[in-house]
């Protein structure tokens, strides 16, 4: 059930921020997985990478606000593009 009914503008901003953070997180976690696949400790590297990505998302949103979602998505894209498979 919906507890609050936000106005359409708030829902649009919330959706945009959510999509930006989700995109950046998925790209950052993909980079962490691709970077650690040749290692014997791939599970530990994947977990540490996921935690680092989540911390970066919180930092970007905390420092830059809504623009942090764009910055985080851009950082995730740059990280994914630097992965060597």
- Do residues 71 and 64 make contact, with C-beta atoms less than 8 angstroms apart? yes
- Based on its alpha-carbon atoms, the radius of gyration of the chain, rounded to whole angstroms, reads 15
For 26-75, how does the pLDDT look when each residue is reduced to its tens digit (9 = 90+)?
Answer: 999 888 888 777 778 888 888 898 999 999 999 999 999 889 999 999 99
User: Considering the entire predicted model, what is its pTM?
Assistant: 0.79
Model confidence at 85, in pLDDT bands (50, 70, 90)? Answer: low
DSSP 6-62: --HHHHHHHHHHHHHHHHHHHHHHHHHHHHHTTSTTHHHHHHHHHHHHHHHHHHHHH
- Do residues 17 and 66 make contact, with C-beta atoms less than 8 angstroms apart? yes
């Amino acid at each position: 059930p919906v507890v609050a009914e936000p106005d359409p503008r708030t829902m649009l901003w919330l959706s945009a921020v959510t999509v930006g953070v989700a995109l950046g997180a998925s790209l950052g976690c993909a980079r962490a997985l691709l970077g650690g696949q040749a290692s014997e400790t791939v599970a530990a590297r994947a977990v540490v990478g996921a935690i680092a990505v989540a911390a970066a998302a919180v930092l970007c949103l905390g420092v830059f606000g809504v623009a942090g979602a764009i910055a985080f998505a851009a950082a995730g894209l740059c990280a994914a593009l630097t992965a060597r498979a």
